[in-house]
Structure 1
């Protein structure tokens, strides 16, 4: 039961040929994965959002807002726009401020912590109303009576 030398080399070539084929497939798979990873990194990777840059400040006319108990608040606003902002109509800002402050007690809006909370709510509402064109709000007048 001896095998001839020709048969041995023939079986060795078949075995090594299959191994070479697997190596080629592995190399192709690795290259495809590297190209896909590079494409994702340079093209599809999510870019970090750039923070808005402050632009023009638009000062609005003061308005009087009714509080509870016959009191009122005289409120003046200035809107900090972004550099991407277009013409901004202040009526939305005044309307949002009136809705937010109307009917509150004078004691609740006089507390600095509470006033800061209300201002943060107003900034959030204006960010939504103006689609990101208003980045901050400044109280230019805040008088209660």
Structure 2
């Protein structure tokens, strides 16, 4: 009987030691990973904050556009450009933005414009083209695009 008590008393000591070693290793690994992530993300957010442009004036495009879609449907839409502070307050020529919008949406299937995902994808593509077209001396002049109307039929 004495041997059984000694064996039972030794088993918890071994498992406690092993448990403590496993916990210590987990803390070291998690601590190192957490510190690494903190320093990596901290650098990204600081550089992203520097690159993010400041909002300037909004340039509304007065006339709505009507373009032909595929299969006899059409799209009538209007939009405005969110300029950056770097663009200043000078009046800009919106002809290029209008032309890019017409090219972007003409001939598209109405099914693509019927879903939020499809509209957002096309809008992001249009914004990218407009940002590139209105970039002056590596300064971003346009930072967003707002639809003021959007009707399909």
Whether TM exceeds 0.5 here: the answer is yes
Question: SS where residue 125 of structure 2 aligns?
Answer: helix
Q: Deviations over 1:69-128 (max 9, x none)?
A: 111100101100011114321111111111111101111111100100111101110110
Greater helix percent: which structure?
2
Question: SS where residue 88 of structure 1 aligns?
Answer: coil
CA distance in 1 between counterparts of 2:114 and 2:60 reads 22
Partner of residue 87, structure 1? 91
Question: What TM-score results when the alignment is normalised by the length of structure 2?
Answer: 0.61
CA distance in 2 between counterparts of 1:111 and 1:104 reads 13
Note if 1:101 corresponds to 2:102.
no
Partner of residue 147, structure 2? 139
Q: Which 5+ residue runs of structure 1 have no aligned equivalent?
A: 1-47
Q: Which 5+ residue runs of structure 2 have no aligned equivalent?
A: 1-46
Question: What TM-score results when the alignment is normalised by the length of structure 1?
Answer: 0.64
Cα RMSD after superposing both structures: 1.5
Question: SS where residue 66 of structure 2 aligns?
Answer: strand
